Amino acid sequence: MGSETVSSHTRKRAAQGGEGRAKAIFWTLLFLTVIFVAYKIIPPYVKDYELEQKMQETARYASVFRKPEEEIRDTIFKEVQDLEIPAKREDIKVEYSGRTVRISVEYDVPVDFLVYQRDMHFKPSSENRSLI
């Protein structure tokens, strides 16, 4: 009778150890998945932020110095190329409205999650009004 108790106790402990390993594997896989998704998603947002900063800077200077639309478009397109953003030159919209300069770009970034592909849509814009 004593050996039966030890045997059933050993089986319970082994089953609990298996459950613990399964939980550890699950949480490790979940953690790695979150890291992988962040690795794929964060860079496009950082690039979009950098592009928007350049657009704001360009809009400020353009409104003060009355730069031509093509020069503004060239400046933004160079930044798009430097950041390796998948936007075309014709996606860059520049408009003057009185003393206000508006710059906008619309583009999609394809993201491959190995089992799922998705396009992330971005539409950064900037506007600046000349004080003069």
Q: Of 129, 87, 84, whose CA–CA distance to 104 is shortest?
A: 87
Tell me the DSSP string of 14-30: HHHHHHHHHHHHHHHHH
pLDDT of residue 17: 58
Residue 131 has pLDDT above 80, yes or no: no
Lookup: tokens for 52: 């928007």
pLDDT band at 33 (very low <50, low <70, confident <90, very high): very high
User: What is the b/e burial string over 56-76, where b = at least 16 CB atoms within 10 angstroms of the residue's CB?
Assistant: eebbeebbeeebeeeebbebb
DSSP strand pairing (107-112 vs 100-105): unpaired
Lookup: tokens for 102: 């508006």
Cα separation, 32 vs 57, whole angstroms: 38
Residue 36 has pLDDT above 80, yes or no: yes
pLDDT band at 10 (very low <50, low <70, confident <90, very high): low
Identify the H or E element spanning 120. Answer: strand 117-122
What pLDDT, in 10s, does the model give residues 73-128? Answer: 999 999 999 999 999 999 999 998 878 899 999 999 999 988 889 999 999 999 98
Q: Is 108 exposed, middle or buried (0-12, 13-18, 19+ CB in 10 A)?
A: middle
pLDDT of residue 97: 85
Average pLDDT rounded to a whole number, residues 10-16: 56
Question: For residues 68 and 77, is the Cβ–Cβ distance under 8 A?
Answer: no
